[in-house]
Amino acid sequence: MLRAILCPVVLEDDSLSALSYAAELARLNGAKLYLLNVPRTPGPDMDVPVAIAPHPHWEVEAENSLSRIARQRLDGGVEYEVMVRPGIPETAIIEVAAEIRADLIVMATHGRTGLAHFILGSVTETIVREADCPVLTIRPKDGTNPPGGANRES
């Protein structure tokens, strides 16, 4: 039985594809759904210097956007909580998963391959390797319908 499901969201359509799966799993299990956004903010541990400093409103803007998405897609359907943590996405996701004692992480992949994957790495790949709980990955083109959804193609 699932009690806590973490769904990292990047506030892009590709990332939101996992949200329908996470919401349906939360609904079916009576679990609480945690939506997490991690605005990547420049930090001293970054390999490449960034010419800008963190904007003081990034977190507020991210929380407002994520709250709006949650209201539009989840209100009344499942219990949820919106969370925003600045920093490095891989680190923040693993930390939040441990903090909420996540039973499952549901997240979209971005589908990078080749040189882009080599240079940019993969947040999802890191989470799959390092998480203490199962990780369900959703490819964006496959994430338009929740599992068992009425619109699912056969």
pLDDT band at 153 (very low <50, low <70, confident <90, very high): very low
β partners of residue 33 = 5, 80
CATH superfamily of 4-42+54-142: HUPs (3.40.50.620)
**What does the pLDDT look like over 102-150, one tens digit per residue?**
999 999 886 555 554 444 457 888 899 999 999 999 887 644 445 544 3
Judge if pTM exceeds 0.75.
Answer: yes
Q: What is the largest CA-CA distance in the chain?
A: 49
Q: Please give the torsion angle defined by the CA atoms of residues 141, 142, 143 and 149, in that order, rounded to the nearest 10 degrees.
A: 140
pLDDT of 41 > 60? The answer is: yes
List the one residue out of 102, 129, 126 whose CA is nearest residue 35.
Answer: 102
Q: CB of 107 within 8 A of CB of 135?
A: yes
Each domain of the chain, given as residue ranges in start order, spans: 4-42+54-142
Report residue 25 as tokens. Answer: 């799993």
Q: How far is CA 145 from CA 21, 27, 86, 151, 152, in A?
A: 7, 15, 30, 6, 6
pLDDT band at 152 (very low <50, low <70, confident <90, very high): very low
